[in-house]
């Protein structure tokens, strides 16, 4: 027999999934910006040589 979950349970699972998705997105943005800064610094050092 299948157990029915309440609306609140489904809502909490949905909110947790959205928070995980937001955390992944923020980590990706942080990684992209930090790599962009590093590449700009390396480019400036190579340009000066």
Q: What is the pTM of this model?
A: 0.70
Residues of the domain holding 40: 1-49
Q: What is the pLDDT of residue 22?
A: 99
Q: What is the pLDDT of residue 48?
A: 75
Q: What is the pLDDT of residue 43?
A: 87
Q: What is the pLDDT of residue 46?
A: 85
Q: What is the pLDDT of residues 1-47, one digit of tens each?
A: 577 889 999 999 999 999 999 999 999 999 999 999 999 999 888 88
DSSP the chain: -PPPPPHHHHHHHHHHHHHHHHHHHHHHHHHHHHHHHHHHHHHHHHHH-
Q: How many domains does the chain have?
A: 1
């Amino acid at each position: 027999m299948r157990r029915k979950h309440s609306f609140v349970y489904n809502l909490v699972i949905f909110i947790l999934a959205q928070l995980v998705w937001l955390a992944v997105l923020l980590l990706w943005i942080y990684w992209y910006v930090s790599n962009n800064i590093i590449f700009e610094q390396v480019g400036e050092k190579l340009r000066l040589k």
